[in-house]
Chains A and B, each alone.
Chain A
């Protein structure tokens, strides 16, 4: 059960788009459509942004979107805003009622 692999950092200018990847294996991301993405500000609890690969909870801007191809999931943030600067974590179901998180990506808005 190794952590999902995310790039440590990502950045983009305000108004641009950025995509964060999350790579797992055929036993987690590749086998289930239960990928979630969380946003976390310093000192705060994570907030659910995307569930089941590409679904957005009520209240999450449609600038946030998710996708999956094979063993890799992606979170795309379009029209970057200053408030999007945060840490982002992916998570996947890994079978047998277990979950696994990614190592996190720090998103910087230039």
Chain B
């Protein structure tokens, strides 16, 4: 059974870089035609798609975050990561990693991590 687990610092100082890792177990991130995504949810607010890395290594980002976001993969560790630079209090959120692709509709996230809370003090 595929499982995703986010990890990383729970507190990041303003102007610094937020770095998170999603570790995938029970399946390979290199499996054909799967996408691996980062989504965040500020306290009391809705979900926001941040970006995605395709199994091939291609990356796609939300336009408003593109200048600050990098998503990469380490196939040897079966992990993918998120880096968000120049953070502010507005980046405080629960960060989720998730999978979508050929399993259940091309763009439907069928497996999610439990989420990790990142706080940027104001």
Q: Does B109 contact A (CB under 8 A)?
A: yes
Q: Using CB atoms, name the residue of chain B closest to A45.
A: B112
Q: Does B106 contact A (CB under 8 A)?
A: yes
Number of interface residues of A (CB under 8 A): 26
Q: Is the interface of B mostly helix, strand, loop or mixed?
A: loop
Choose one: B49, B64, B105; the contact of A55 (CB below 8 Å). B105
- The answer to whether residues A99 and B112 also contact, given A89-B47, A104-B46 and a CB cut-off of 8 A, is no
A57 touches B110 (CB 8 A): yes
Q: Using CB atoms, name the residue of chain B closest to A58.
A: B104
CB-defined contacts of B47 to chain A, threshold 8 Å: 38, 46, 89, 91, 101, 104
A47 to B58, CA, bound (A): 26
- The answer to whether residues A46 and B109 also contact, given A101-B49, A102-B46 and a CB cut-off of 8 A, is yes
Q: Does A69 contact B (CB under 8 A)?
A: no
Not counting A36-B105, A46-B96, A101-B39, a sample of 11 additional A-B residue pairs whose C-beta atoms are within 8 angstroms of each other reads: A1-B63, A3-B46, A45-B115, A52-B106, A55-B104, A89-B46, A91-B108, A97-B52, A99-B37, A101-B47, A104-B46
